[in-house]
């Protein structure tokens, strides 16, 4: 008589596929993410130059409001404040070694925010030609899209939305080109003069037209310079980001 058994032959048992290795416990993921965050260097962004720069960011929409509602004297006064703080914050940062990576981003951002708002408001009021407003704003839009891209690709892992907006995490450093610096100065001079035009009693229409064409030329030139200038944008490594830490933080 044959007896059946539940045991399979040894050769068939050896051919059965081995079970997959167990996956890491979900509880380990959070400690790993926290460890990565601690390895990423932070810098102190609450410095006097950065505070002055943030105040210029806040002043920009206020100046636009004053222009639209024909408060020309107040608009010129607040615009002068923005120009003075632009010079002062740079001096303080260099004099007391308070340069930060975030400062290289928000300082030109403050200038561009002011330029964008005033360009739009002055074009709406008919004080600035529409074709010049399109050139100025078009260049800034293209550079803004490029800045968003470089910020994302250079952000240290893990790449999250919250960390993207944490500007104490250095990732990319922007170095304005020489022509871009001249262009910014010329744009601010043109916008400031246009803002003050209702207060000027002398006829300077010919001078203002020449300034408009000059600014249009330098705006196009400066936008192209970010393409062919090698060191305009620098992707920071982890070691580069640690330069803003104190010796105690580096231990």
> Domain for residue 34, yes or no?
no
d(CA 86, CA 95): 15
> Domain for residue 88, yes or no?
yes
> Domain for residue 10, yes or no?
no
Give the pLDDT of residue 178: 86
**Torsions phi, psi for 10 (to 5 deg):** -60, -35
d(CA 80, CA 99): 24
**Contact between 91 and 53 (Cβ < 8 Å):** no
**Contact between 119 and 63 (Cβ < 8 Å):** no
Neighbours of 87 (CB within 10 A): 9
Query: pTM for the full model?
Result: 0.65
Give the pLDDT of residue 17: 57
**Contact between 170 and 234 (Cβ < 8 Å):** no
Range of the domain at 110: 44-156+163-246
> Domain for residue 19, yes or no?
no
> Domain for residue 22, yes or no?
no
Question: What CATH code is carried by the domain that includes residue 87?
Answer: 1.20.120
What are the beta bridge partners of residue 96?
none
Give the pLDDT of residue 45: 72
| Total of domains in the chain | 1
Give the pLDDT of residue 74: 96
Give the pLDDT of residue 118: 95
> Domain for residue 1, yes or no?
no
**Contact between 85 and 55 (Cβ < 8 Å):** yes
Closest CA to 55 of 107, 91, 123: 107
> Domain for residue 233, yes or no?
yes
- Kindly list the distances between the CA atom of residue 154 and the CA atoms of 11, 158, 162, 228, 233, in Å, as whole numbers in the listed order: 55, 11, 15, 20, 11
> Domain for residue 171, yes or no?
yes
Per-residue pLDDT of the chain (251 residues; tens, 9 = 90+): 444 454 555 554 555 556 555 555 555 566 665 655 555 556 667 788 888 998 999 999 999 999 999 999 999 999 999 989 988 988 888 888 877 767 777 887 888 889 999 999 999 999 999 999 999 999 888 877 877 777 776 776 777 767 766 766 656 666 778 888 899 889 989 999 999 999 998 999 999 999 999 999 999 998 888 777 666 666 665 445 444 443 334 43
d(CA 180, CA 223): 8
């Amino acid at each position: 008589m044959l007896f059946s058994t539940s045991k399979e032959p040894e050769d068939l048992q050896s051919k059965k596929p081995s079970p997959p290795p167990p996956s890491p416990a979900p509880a380990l993921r959070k400690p790993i993410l926290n460890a990565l965050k601690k390895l990423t260097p932070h810098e102190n962004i609450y410095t006097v130059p950065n505070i002055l720069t943030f105040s210029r960011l806040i002043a920009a929409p206020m100046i636009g409001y004053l222009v639209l509602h024909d408060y020309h004297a107040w608009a010129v006064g607040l615009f002068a404040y923005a120009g003075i703080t632009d010079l002062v914050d740079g001096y303080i940062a260099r004099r007391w070694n308070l340069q930060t990576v975030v400062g290289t981003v928000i300082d030109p951002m403050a200038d561009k925010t002011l330029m964008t708002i005033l360009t739009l408001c002055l074009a709406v009021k008919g004080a600035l030609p529409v074709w010049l407003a399109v050139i100025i704003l078009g260049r800034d839009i293209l550079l803004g899209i490029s800045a968003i891209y470089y910020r994302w690709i250079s952000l240290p892992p893990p790449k999250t939305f919250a960390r993207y907006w944490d500007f104490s995490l250095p990732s990319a450093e922007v170095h304005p080109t020489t022509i871009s610096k001249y262009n910014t100065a010329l744009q601010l001079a043109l916008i400031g003069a246009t803002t003050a035009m209702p207060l000027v009693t002398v006829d300077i229409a010919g001078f203002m037209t020449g300034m408009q064409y000059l600014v249009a030329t330098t705006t196009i030139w400066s936008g192209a310079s970010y393409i062919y200038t090698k060191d305009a944008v620098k992707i920071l490594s982890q070691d580069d980001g640690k330069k803003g830490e104190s010796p105690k933080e580096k231990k």
